[in-house]
């Protein structure tokens, strides 16, 4: 049985940070041929600062951090934050390898989208790397469509990132 719920307390945040570092490890392994991409998004000090700031970046009423629990263990995470009055972004959806293949990422995205709808957002956006075909398949299978970039990105990285949106 899988439970999706908001992260609460230091233990949950520690588990989320551990999952986020594992997510970064996957991305670093898949982007070794793209040093600019690594430097832009995943440089060690930049990512450390992001991890330190997680609760402040994804805080109610503008967003949330979600966890997926299986057998009383946190096995996945995902989070949202405000882009503007009508749009929120889904970030860092990651499922631990041992828990994959059970639809957890989709459940996290659905929970995030429902939460965003309840907060009054009318659109959700996200991005992923083209070298993550499983993520692209997930989002496209959920009805996300490709969108224009919603943040500034160097032109040299535009071919490596896919932007998606979904109405709520």
| For residues 146-164, average pLDDT | 92
Q: For residue 61, say if its preceding peptide bond is cis, omega within 30 degrees of 0.
A: yes
pLDDT band per the 50, 70, 90 thresholds, residue 34: low
Question: 10 Å Cβ neighbour count for 16?
Answer: 25
Separation of first and last alpha carbons in the chain: 27
The predicted structure's pLDDT at residue 77: 98
| For residues 69-97, average pLDDT | 97
pTM of this prediction? 0.93
Measure the CA–CA gap between 61 and 117, rounded to whole angstroms.
12
CA neighbor of 4 nearest in space, from 149, 102, 133, 119: 102
pLDDT band per the 50, 70, 90 thresholds, residue 39: confident
Residue 41 reports pLDDT greater than 80: no
168 Cα distance to chain centroid: 17
Residue 46 reports pLDDT greater than 70: yes
The model's pLDDT over 114-145, given as tens digits with 9 standing for 90+, comes to: 999 999 999 999 999 998 999 999 999 999 99
């Amino acid at each position: 049985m899988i439970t999706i719920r908001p992260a609460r307390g230091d233990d949950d945040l520690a588990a989320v940070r551990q999952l986020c570092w594992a997510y970064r490890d996957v991305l670093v392994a898949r982007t070794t041929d793209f040093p600019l991409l690594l430097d832009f998004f995943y440089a060690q000090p930049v990512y450390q600062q992001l991890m330190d700031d997680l609760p402040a970046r994804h805080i109610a009423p503008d967003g949330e951090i979600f966890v997926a629990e299986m057998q009383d263990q946190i096995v996945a995470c995902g989070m949202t934050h405000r882009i503007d009055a009508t749009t929120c972004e889904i970030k860092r959806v990651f499922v631990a390898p041992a828990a994959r293949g059970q639809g957890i990422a989709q459940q996290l995205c659905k929970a995030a989208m429902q939460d965003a709808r309840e907060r009054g957002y009318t659109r959700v956006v996200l991005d992923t790397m083209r070298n993550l075909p499983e993520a692209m398949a997930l989002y496209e299978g959920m009805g996300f469509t490709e969108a224009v970039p919603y943040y500034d990105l160097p032109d040299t990285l535009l071919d490596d990132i896919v932007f998606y949106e979904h109405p709520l």
